[in-house]
Amino acid sequence: MKEYTYITLRQAPEWKEAAAAWFHDKWQVPQEAYLACMDAYLRKETEYGWYLCLDGGRIVGGLGVIDNDFHNRKDLAPNVCAVYTEEEYRCRGIAGRLLDIVVKDMKSKGISPLYLITDHTGFYERYGWEFLCMVQGDGEPAMARMYLHK
């Protein structure tokens, strides 16, 4: 089985620009928004971090932690956001490993629970996440599923 490298942006800050571009490409959130969050993390203004899976010199998976992932429940924070694995790398445990890493890292800093919104059903439950409620996404007509990890 292929081995991948899992890092936090603090471990390898040289990945910041590439990571911001990669997340922007996946989610169409302005690159500047990712850079602002990443800079705050790198300056230790927040413990809400950014996590990457690398295959050699390529980002193949990633996620971040932010206060609010564009929904109306501002009281449910922090949020795991931008969870993504490149299509050709899916079903290899990458997203699950990233989710495990972020939960352990945040708990080690006294940050728990974590929340995330998704349209997926069944995936996050495999990694200890529990469905909490439906939330309204900013500017979204449909409600989204909110999950919790204690």
Q: Which residues of the chain have pLDDT under 70?
A: 1
**Could you please report the per-residue DSSP string of 118-138?**
ES-SSTGGGGT-EEEEEEEBT
Domains belonging to the chain, first-starting first, are: 5-111 (3.40.630.30)
pLDDT at 2: 78
pLDDT, tens digit, 9 for 90 and up, residues 108-135:
999 999 999 998 889 999 999 999 999 9
Would you call 54 exposed, middle or buried from its count of C-beta atoms within 10 A (0-12, 13-18, 19+)? middle
How far are the Cα atoms of 31, 47, 103, 104, 113 from residue 108, in angstroms, in the given order?
Answer: 29, 11, 9, 6, 12
pLDDT, tens digit, 9 for 90 and up, residues 30-40:
999 999 999 99
Q: What tokens appear for 15 in the block?
A: 């990945």
Q: What is the pTM of this model?
A: 0.94
pLDDT at 1: 65
Closest CA to 85 of 10, 22, 17: 22
Q: How far apart are CA 22 and CA 36, in angstroms?
A: 15
